[in-house]
C-alpha cells in the first residue's frame, strides 16, 4: 500500500488519475506509467478499456456523486462485474455482487442489492464503491481521498477494510490523502508531493518519524496530534501556481531552511538511505548527507 500525501493542489489526485489515464482534456502524460511490465500511457484504446475494466479500479472521494441515483446499487454492482468479465451471466454476476458486498461487511447484502444510493449512509456507499471495484478482481485499487466525506469512526472502519483487503487479497492499493495521520500505520510507503512533484519518498514509518524534506516536516507539525492544547500550526504562505513555478525549489518561499541554491536550482529526488529506498529533493539535506557520508568514509 502506497500513500500519496500533500496539500490540496499538490498533484496527488492528478497523479492517481493519470494512472488510469483519466486526466482532464488537454493534459498529457510526459513519461511512462508502468503497471507490471506494461506502459499504461502507451496502451491502445481497447487495451486501456480492458485495463480499466479488470486490472485497475479507482474509488473517488465523494460516494454520492460516484453512483447513479436512478439505479439500484445491485444493478450497478452487476454491471461492474459484467464489464470486467462479459462471460458472466446476470445470475452469476448477482451472486458475485452479493458475495462481495458481504466481503466488505455490508449487512444484509441480499436486501441492500435493491437499495438506491439515497437510501444508504456515506460509509455504506463507500463500501459499495469498494465492492464495485472488487467484483472486477483487480490487481490495483486507486483511492482518491476515500474518507474525506466520512465521519471519524467511519473513516477508521474504511481504512481498516482497505488494509485487510491489501493483506488478504494481495491487492496493491494507492491512496491519495492530505492527512498524514490517516495513513500512519496503514501504508507501507509514503510519497509526499508538492507543486506537482515528489519531494520525499520512503517507508512510511521512517518518513514520519524522521522527515528529511522541510515540507514533510512542516506537514507533520500541522497534524492535530502535534498541536494538542495549543493553537493549530499552519504552513505560512501558499503553494505556487503550477503554470507559474519559480525558477528554484518550489517550496523555497515558504521554507525556513532555505539556502542560496534553493533559489536558483531545482533539486532532484536523490537517495539518502539506499537500503530502505528513502529519497528526498532538498539541496540542504543532500549536502548534509553527502558531508556525513564523506566524513564516515574518511574515518574508515
Give long-range contacts, CB 8 A cutoff, 24+ apart: 221-230.
Answer: 223/180, 223/181, 224/181, 225/181
> What average pLDDT does the segment 202-208 reach?
94
Whole-angstrom distance, CA of residue 79 vs CA of residue 66: 14
Q: Which DSSP letter does residue 232 get?
A: P
Domain that holds residue 293: 199-300
Mean pLDDT comparison of 69-83, 165-179, 229-243, highest-scoring range = 69-83
- Mean per-residue pLDDT, 92-116: 95
Please check whether residue 37 lies inside any domain of the structure: no
Any domain includes 288: yes
Residue 3 lies in a domain: no
pLDDT score of 33 more than 70: yes
Does residue 94 lie within any of the structural domains?
no
> What pLDDT is stored for residue 298 in this prediction?
56
Residue 44 lies in a domain: no
Helix (H) or strand (E) holding 19: helix 12-19
pLDDT higher than threshold 90 for residue 86: yes
Q: Is residue 38 part of a domain?
A: no
C-alpha distances (whole Å) from 19 to each of 87, 187, 294 are: 27, 18, 39
Bigger pLDDT: 271 vs 233 = 271
pLDDT digits (tens, 9 = 90+) for 43-74: 999 999 999 999 999 998 888 888 999 999 99
Least confident stretch, 32-36, 42-46, 73-77 = 32-36
Give the predicted TM-score (pTM) of the model. Answer: 0.88
Number of folded domains in the chain? 1
Q: Is residue 257 part of a domain?
A: yes
| H/E stretch holding 35 | strand 34-35
Residue 250 in any domain: the answer is yes
Residues 6+ apart with CB under 8 A from 175: 1, 2, 3, 4, 142, 143, 146, 162, 183, 186, 187
**pLDDT tens digits, one per residue of 125-172:** 999 999 999 999 999 999 998 888 788 888 888 889 999 999 988 899
pLDDT for the residue 178: 83
Amino acid at each position: 500500500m502506497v500513500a500519496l500525501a500533500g496539500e490540496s493542489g499538490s498533484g496527488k489526485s492528478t497523479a492517481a488519475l493519470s494512472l488510469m489515464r483519466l486526466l482532464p482534456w488537454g493534459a498529457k502524460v510526459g513519461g511512462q506509467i508502468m503497471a507490471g511490465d506494461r506502459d499504461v500511457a502507451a496502451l491502445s484504446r481497447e487495451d486501456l478499456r480492458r485495463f480499466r475494466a479488470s486490472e485497475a479500479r479507482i474509488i473517488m472521494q465523494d460516494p454520492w456523486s460516484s453512483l447513479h441515483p436512478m439505479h439500484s446499487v445491485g444493478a450497478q454492482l452487476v454491471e461492474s462485474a459484467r464489464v470486467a468479465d462479459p462471460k458472466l451471466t446476470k445470475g452469476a454476476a448477482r451472486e458475485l455482487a452479493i458475495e462481495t458486498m458481504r466481503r466488505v461487511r455490508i449487512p444484509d447484502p441480499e436486501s441492500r442489492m435493491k437499495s438506491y444510493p439515497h437510501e444508504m449512509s456515506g460509509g455504506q456507499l463507500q463500501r459499495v464503491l469498494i465492492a464495485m471495484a472488487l467484483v472486477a478482481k483487480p490487481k490495483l485499487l486507486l483511492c482518491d481521498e476515500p474518507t474525506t466525506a466520512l465521519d471519524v469512526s467511519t473513516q477508521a472502519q474504511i481504512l481498516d477494510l482497505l488494509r485487510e483487503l491489501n493483506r488478504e487479497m494481495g491487492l496493491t492499493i494507492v491512496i491519495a490523502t492530505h492527512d498524514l495521520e490517516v495513513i500512519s500505520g496503514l501504508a507501507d510507503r509514503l510519497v509526499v508531493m508538492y507543486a506537482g512533484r515528489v519531494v520525499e519518498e520512503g517507508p512510511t514509518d521512517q518518513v514520519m518519524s524522521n522527515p528529511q524534506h522541510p515540507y514533510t516536516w512542516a506537514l507533520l507539525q500541522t497534524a492535530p496530534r502535534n498541536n494538542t492544547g495549543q493553537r493549530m500550526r499552519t504552513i505560512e504562505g501558499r503553494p505556487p501556481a503550477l503554470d507559474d513555478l519559480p525558477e528554484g525549489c518550489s517550496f523555497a518561499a515558504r521554507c525556513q531552511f532555505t539556502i542560496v541554491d534553493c533559489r536558483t536550482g531545482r533539486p532532484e529526488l536523490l537517495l539518502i538511505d539506499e537500503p530502505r529506498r528513502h529519497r528526498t529533493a532538498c539541496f540542504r539535506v543532500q549536502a548534509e548527507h553527502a558531508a556525513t557520508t564523506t566524513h564516515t568514509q574518511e574515518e574508515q
